[in-house]
Structure 1
Amino acid sequence: MDNKSETNEQEKLSQEIIELSLQENIQNRLKTSQQKDERINELLRKIPSEIRQMYDCLGPLYEVNPKYQIIYQNDGSIYFGQGVGGRKIGTGIQIWPEQGNILDGNWENDQLEGYCRMVYSNKDIFECLFKQGRANGFGVFQTQKKTVKGIWIDNNLSGEGQEFRKDGQRYYGQFQDGQKDGQGIIYFKDGCKYEGELRKNLADGLGTMIWSDCSYYDGEFRLGVIKGRGVYLSGNGYSLMGYFEEEAQKDRKKKIQRIIYKNEGGSNLIIEKIRQL
């Protein structure tokens, strides 16, 4: 065999070795990928099917890698992620099989740190920045009825925020301990608007109510209803000034706002507004 033929044979053998090596690497990657997918799939099978399907649509918050390990927690949950010595350190997924909750997050010394997401068994979703295991930063909370955006401080929504309800009602304003509290604006689904002070989710203090017929009341509110001194201006320009007190009556899909105006002479005048609930 001449040198040229020998060289060709060596090159051919080298190429075959390279191809075999590449095939082996591909097979190893596929095997690892299948193992990775199967591990997380096996854990997700412990969750109710509706939540599992919902989570599948969202996908993991962080990329799952082959170095993830399974660590069983004292509260009955299962952690699938990065860890050292049985502690959660790095990204991972924590599952509560009995409750049906799934948490994607980043941990430092077993405490959530950074951007995390919890999917609850009732289909609520909470995404927020965490510091030392507590929600501290901008977050979004979604339920079947509403979406709330704002700043969380020590696990409570506090400060400026927004709330959008599925029925069309919107709120822009301040929150305190998870409730509408402070200055804010509510746009009701029937076209009415309230702007002013709120306490524990209710209009309370000084505020302005504007109805869809362009009439408005500017004055005092107590526990969600008109009560106190104020000014009422009708859509045609007729105005009243004095003490107002609201009586609420509900009738299925309509709410009649009955407001009693009391003038200084002692006589009463009733103002009625039909509202869509």
Structure 2
Amino acid sequence: MFSKGLMDGFGIFTRAGGLKYEGEFVRNIPMGQGTYTWPDGSTFKGEVYNGIRHGTGTYKCTQNSLFYSGQWHQGKRHGKGTAYYNEEKTSWYKGDWVRNNREGCGLRCYPSGNIYSGEWKNNQRHGEGTMRWLNLGQKYVGAWQDGVQHGQGTHVWNLWRKDGSQYSQSNRYTGEFAQGQRHGWGTFYYAGGAIYEGEWKNNKKHGQVCFTVSWKMFREIHSIKGGKKQSRSFEILPKFVIGAFPLSHSNSSLPGPDMALNIDCLLDIIPERKRDTERKQVEFVVLRQERELRSICSFYSRLGYARSPENTLQLSRLQFWRLLKDCNIHHRGITLTQIDRLIREDVDPAEIHSPFTPVLLRKLVSYLVIVAYHIHSKDMVSPKYLLAACFSKLMTDDILPNAKNVKGFLFRQPDVGVVAMNYMKRCWEVFQLFCTATRDEQTMTCHHLLWMFKVQQTVTLFFAGINNTLNFCCLFHQCNLKITFLEFFEVLLGCAEVTCEQVSETLKEDHQVSGSNTETRKDSPEVEVSEDIIQTQGFHNLCIC
């Protein structure tokens, strides 16, 4: 269209070089909505001002697959916009632009799948931002400069299982970075709980450091130069900082920090001049048994789970009780509830006998040392190192010969244990309902247990179900004997097993009455399914009663 001899309105203009414009004109100047098409096939469609891209528009480049949709200013990407850098659209940026450069805040997804979200300057990561390396399972949150970590930040290394699932705990560094490396002052938190705090140089520990490793509430301070330890001192901490160091300690004379002992309650009994020696000697025994202790902890941590738990070096108190019972510790003149009191530490009274209380490897080892002293010290005849002798005897006589030979109704059959754990919280509520709450703790006695079955009119079922769970003599002559939730839970499972057997026998009788087709039906899929349902529902029905 022309007006007064000038292009005005909608039209198409093609330059000698092949550049084509199709859109609105104002007095011979492309102005308004239009489309540019270059000789190589690249296009721009959007707002045009004085013949250049200005406003909002979309640009497609055929040479490098670049696609941009967003704001423009004076012919350059400027403002808010999204750019795709490949045809698959797996590489892209969405955010702020300044004169064709990524600058401001934006989200960048790389072809590898890695993602950065944060501040930019001159097309580089610069300022505060978060980078996620998906393939490596790493994340950095903090300051950037010229595309690399620089300043204060936190780098996290996630840990993965063999099946591809992720552990909840991870290694983490928080501190200073320089040119992409840990450099300056920083703290490294290991997945197991250990803490390294000190100076770093080019990604390595350097200078004065503080390494927190144990329940003793101390921190070990080293001076490191050139990667070598120069000096060491100790400082008492104002609070507990518990460590666990996921590294090999085969060359160390002490157990790893994740097995650091908290046995102050025993050392207080030892004459002060002998305490350090006693601690060192029992640590030597722990070191000799380290592989077995880790294996036992890992084994019992998996009981009751269909899949391996996130932390295979952490038990629940329920699993810890099972370990003690498998090793017949309760036959040594001590009950599980008494052991709970010996290892109670500074916890809420309501948590002393809770089956959900976590027991890390370091706690497990400490608990076993405490138990060893209380059941074997009276049998020791003037040992040179009392604690070490007791723990060595416990491991030799009780733990190693019996551990991993799972007994009881709960975990003996893995499939049954997995199903039963679904009812654990409900049964814990029942346990708390019938037990006695004193000022110090909440416990159940054999008398309470028997009363519960009497109230539910299932006493006969109770006597059938206590086989291999509670001792008859104990039941009748020591009705006030306190029991743990594990023993209570396994009595319920024993009753459920009796119920299952009764229902199964009834089902077989019904099949026999059915006539000549009995043998055929016995092997049929329907009967197999019904028997599986009975085994699952036996415990379910008992819980409902």
Q: What amino acid is the match of 1:68?
A: G
SS at match of 1:184: strand
Spell out the pairing of 1:168-187 with structure 2 (5 A cutoff): 168-187=113-132
- Please tell me whether the aligned partners of residues 229 and 243 of structure 1 are also in contact (alpha carbons under 8 angstroms): yes
Q: Which one of the candidate residues 105, 109, 115 is aligned to 2:56?
A: 115
- Please tell me whether the aligned partners of residues 182 and 204 of structure 2 are also in contact (alpha carbons under 8 angstroms): no
- Structure holding more helix per residue: 2
Larger deviation, residues 132-141 vs 233-242? 132-141
Q: Distance in 1 between matches of 2:201 and 2:11?
A: 63
Q: Distance in 2 between matches of 1:266 and 1:191?
A: 30
- Name 2:43's counterpart in structure 1: 102
Q: What amino acid is the match of 1:198?
A: W
Spell out the pairing of 1:84-99 with structure 2 (5 A cutoff): 84-98=26-40
Q: 1:157 to 1:109 in 2, by over 3 A?
A: same
- Name 1:202's counterpart in structure 2: 148
2:19 corresponds to 1:77: yes
CA RMSD of aligned residues (A): 2.8
Q: What amino acid is the match of 2:153?
A: G
2:11 corresponds to 1:68: yes
Q: Distance in 2 between matches of 1:111 and 1:96?
A: 14
Q: How much does 1:185 deviate?
A: 0.7
Q: How much does 1:198 deviate?
A: 0.3
Q: Which one of the candidate residues 226, 229, 236 is aligned to 2:182?
A: 226
Q: How much does 1:233 deviate?
A: 1.4
- Please tell me whether the aligned partners of residues 172 and 189 of structure 2 are also in contact (alpha carbons under 8 angstroms): yes
Of all paired residues, the percent bearing the same amino acid is 24
Q: How much does 1:207 deviate?
A: 0.8
- Please tell me whether the aligned partners of residues 68 and 92 of structure 1 are also in contact (alpha carbons under 8 angstroms): no
Q: Distance in 2 between matches of 1:154 and 1:122?
A: 19
- Please tell me whether the aligned partners of residues 205 and 224 of structure 2 are also in contact (alpha carbons under 8 angstroms): no
Q: Distance in 2 between matches of 1:226 and 1:76?
A: 54
Q: How much does 1:263 deviate?
A: 4.2
Q: How much does 1:272 deviate?
A: 11
Spell out the pairing of 1:1-277 with structure 2 (5 A cutoff): 67-72=10-15, 77-98=19-40, 100-120=41-61, 121-144=63-86, 146-189=91-134, 190-213=136-159, 214-246=170-202, 259-264=203-208, 265-266=223-224, 268=227
Summarize deviations over 1:224-243 as a string: whole Å, max 9, x none: 22222211111111121222
Q: Distance in 2 between matches of 1:146 and 1:221?
A: 27
Aligned residues: 194
Q: How much does 1:91 deviate?
A: 1.8
Q: How much does 1:212 deviate?
A: 0.7
Q: Distance in 2 between matches of 1:194 and 1:244?
A: 17
TM-score w.r.t. length of structure 2: 0.33
Provide structure 2 residue ranges, at least 5 long, that are not aligned to the other structure.
1-8, 160-169, 209-222, 229-244, 248-545
Q: Distance in 2 between matches of 1:175 and 1:260?
A: 29
Q: How much does 1:125 deviate?
A: 0.6
SS at match of 1:211: strand
Summarize deviations over 1:136-162 as a string: whole Å, max 9, x none: 321001112521111223333222111
- Name 2:428's counterpart in structure 1: none
Q: How much does 1:77 deviate?
A: 2.2
Summarize deviations over 1:190-226 as a string: whole Å, max 9, x none: 2211000001111111111111131111111111222
Q: What amino acid is the match of 2:91?
A: K
SS at match of 1:68: strand
Q: Distance in 2 between matches of 1:202 and 1:161?
A: 16
- Please tell me whether the aligned partners of residues 42 and 59 of structure 2 are also in contact (alpha carbons under 8 angstroms): yes
- Please tell me whether the aligned partners of residues 69 and 83 of structure 1 are also in contact (alpha carbons under 8 angstroms): no
Q: What amino acid is the match of 2:13?
A: I
Q: How much does 1:135 deviate?
A: 3.0
- Please tell me whether the aligned partners of residues 71 and 86 of structure 1 are also in contact (alpha carbons under 8 angstroms): no
With CA pairs under 8 Å and 6+ residues apart, which has the higher RCO, 1 or 2?
Answer: 1
Larger deviation, residues 105-114 vs 115-124? 105-114
Larger deviation, residues 76-85 vs 187-196? 76-85
